[in-house]
A = this chain, B = another copy of it.
Amino acid sequence: MSESRTVTAAALAIGDELLSGRTRDRNIGHLAELLTAAGIDLEEVRIVPDDQERIVEALNALRARYDYVFTSGGIGPTHDDITADAVAAAFGVACSHDADALALLDAHYAERGMEFTEARRRMARMPVGSRHIDNPVSKAPGFVIGNVHVMAGVPSVFQAMLDNVLPTLNTGVKMHSEKVSCPYGEGDIGDPLSAIAEAHPTVNIGSYPRFSGDRFSTEIVIRGRDQAAIAAARRDVEAMLSSTGSRLAPKAV
């Protein structure tokens, strides 16, 4: 995959709390930013409840379609943490206590004088054949099986696991992006911007409105894998903004 121009990914966030509004997801945006910086295109995100059938269905759809899938949530010690079982079911393999993970956790809790409860032992369960993802924050590992990376939902743990995962991934040609701030609303620049987008088919030109008080401004983002093409599109955008300024400004006497 390191030879191909694009490497694709999907995210699957798992948890009733994300769908009830109790918890606002903080992992998807972080993952998106780091994957983009690494040259991996996040192409789809799904959020599903703690329900095995729904997790299996989403995971199988995503892992068949994208180079990588990253999951968050549901790998803790309680009864509602069913991600390991669901991932095993999706791959059609058993989910069992991993000997290395048990040893790791046993030592961790012994060191801290904490009981290694049956609940904590649950965190050593993973699909047979998985590799660990180290967890420097709270020890219980995530895991990788096939192209699926299973990580914690607690943001500090998710981030630490992702930092360990990123260097192991194949990456594509990096996507570059440049921003141009535009003081006019999208309605004022939409027509000429559309013409610029058509004239520069190798870049992707995004236009993002900001609304404050009673007026819109716009951030224009030019994205692409070829920096010269981005620069050429940027010149056209900047020229367009100057002429929009002249058009909209009250005529000088």
Interface residues of A (CB under 8 A from B): 16-25, 28-37, 41-50, 54, 76-81, 109, 114-115, 117-120, 122-123, 137-138, 154, 156-157, 175, 177, 186-191, 193-194, 197-198, 204-211, 216, 221, 223
Contacts and interface: CB of A to CB of B under 8 A. Distances in A.
A29 B36 contact: no
A53 B78 CA distance: 39
Given A45-B47, A79-B197, 17 more contacts: A16-B223, A18-B28, A18-B32, A19-B42, A20-B36, A21-B34, A21-B37, A46-B47, A76-B209, A78-B186, A78-B189, A79-B198, A81-B207, A118-B191, A119-B191, A123-B187, A137-B211
Nearest to A197: B79
A20 B223 contact: yes
B79 A190 contact: yes
Given A25-B29, A43-B49, A78-B194, A187 B119 contact: yes
A117 B190 contact: yes
B43 A208 contact: no
A206 B43 contact: no
Contacts of A50: 206
A44 B176 CA distance: 31
A25 B193 CA distance: 25
A37 B190 CA distance: 38
A21 B23 CA distance: 19
A78 B20 contact: no
A209 B72 CA distance: 14
A80 B43 contact: no
Contacts of A193: 78-79, 119
Contacts of A119: 186-191, 193-194
A54 B81 CA distance: 31
A99 to B, nearest CB: 19
A101 to B, nearest CB: 14
Contacts of A188: 114-115, 117, 119
